[in-house]
């Protein structure tokens, strides 16, 4: 058996059908003897006034496990809010892709039961920290499990910036921006931009240019402990946005310096036994299955 005694439930509150999954989990966990605690907005979502509540942003109750019901976007938000508290996350997929949320609704109770009995795999994922400096002063900070993206916002004009890695100049570039991705985020926006798929266990960071003005600009992969610095061109006429996980925006100005590096704390994602990253890629990305025996023997 595991030490998962106090279990928190967090959900995407914008999808009505998720309420049924939360109520099923409340019933199942309560009957099994676990202490159930609801994230405050989730409690309001399902109309529960009996169970204790907490806020993700300032966790003040001890938790052994958080079960997140929703899509990958909800999991990204939960990871950013909970990474400082060292609480593992388990995802029930009620979204579209489900790279981070493994458990399907129709097998929820059975898979949760297996996890709670000790049948699970732990995957440690690192996040990125970003800060923006203007005239030597920090004017904004953020974190991301998937990616930090520099982009022009609503404008369709290119921007200019310089890229430095570990204080070494890499290149100057005119483009629509730059995606700085963790291995977790390599199957998200970075993949759409032509970046490589990285196994989640890699200690690496991907840098993917967005529509660069030169054909020689290509994605590059650097060590996970690299310090990345982007200097926004002072001649830019637009005010680029720095977006964390596609959810939180910080506006920059010409001449600003954007610094990105690995966060010291990592988030622990729990997967059911049998979780296979490559199988997930085959399912979610439409990769080909194995050739038939007759085809392999030709």
Which CA distances in Å does 222 have to 5, 197, 209, 225, 288? 40, 14, 14, 8, 29
Token code pair at residue 49 = 């006034």
Q: Which residues does 245 contact at the CB level (< 8 Å), separation at least 6?
A: 73, 76, 77, 80, 144, 145, 146, 147, 185
Q: Which residues does 202 contact at the CB level (< 8 Å), separation at least 6?
A: 183, 224
CA pair distance 125, 127, nearest whole angstrom = 7
Catalytic residue chosen out of the listed positions 64, 72, 245, 256: 72
Which residue, 176, 186, 252, is CA-closest to 217? 176
CA pair distance 145, 89, nearest whole angstrom = 13
Specify the 3-state DSSP secondary structure of 38: strand
Active site residue 227: no
H/E stretch holding 108 reads: helix 108-116
CA pair distance 224, 180, nearest whole angstrom = 11
Q: Which residues does 35 contact at the CB level (< 8 Å), separation at least 6?
A: 5, 6, 7
- Catalytic residue IDs: 72
């Amino acid at each position: 058996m595991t030490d998962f005694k106090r279990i928190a439930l967090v959900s995407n509150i914008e999808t009505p059908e998720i309420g049924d999954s939360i109520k099923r989990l409340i019933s199942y966990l309560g009957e099994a003897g676990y202490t159930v605690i609801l994230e405050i907005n989730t409690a309001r979502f399902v109309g529960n006034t009996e169970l204790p509540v907490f806020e993700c942003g300032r966790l003040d109750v001890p938790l052994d496990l958080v079960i997140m019901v929703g899509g990958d976007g909800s999991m990204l938000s939960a990871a950013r809010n909970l990474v400082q508290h060292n609480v593992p996350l388990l995802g029930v997929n009620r979204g579209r892709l489900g790279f981070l949320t493994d458990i399907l609704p129709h097998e929820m109770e059975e898979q949760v039961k297996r996890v709670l009995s000790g049948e699970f795999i732990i995957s440690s994922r690192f996040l990125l920290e970003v800060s923006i400096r203007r005239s030597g002063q920090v004017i904004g900070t953020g974190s991301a499990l998937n990616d930090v993206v520099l982009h022009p916002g609503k404008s369709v004009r290119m921007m200019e910036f310089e890229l430095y890695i570990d204080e070494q100049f890499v290149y100057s570039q005119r483009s629509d921006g730059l995606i700085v991705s963790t291995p977790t985020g390599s199957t998200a926006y970075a993949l759409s931009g032509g970046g490589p798929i990285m196994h989640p266990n890699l200690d690496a960071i991907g840098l993917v240019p967005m529509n660069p003005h030169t054909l020689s600009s290509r994605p590059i992969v650097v060590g996970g402990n690299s310090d990345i610095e982007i200097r926004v061109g002072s001649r830019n006429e637009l005010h680029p946005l720095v977006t964390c996980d596609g959810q939180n925006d910080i506006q920059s100005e010409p001449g600003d310096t954007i610094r990105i590096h690995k966060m010291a704390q990592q988030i622990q994602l729990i997967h059911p036994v049998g979780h296979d990253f490559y199988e997930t890629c085959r399912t979610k990305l439409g990769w080909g299955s194995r050739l038939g025996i007759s085809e392999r023997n030709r």
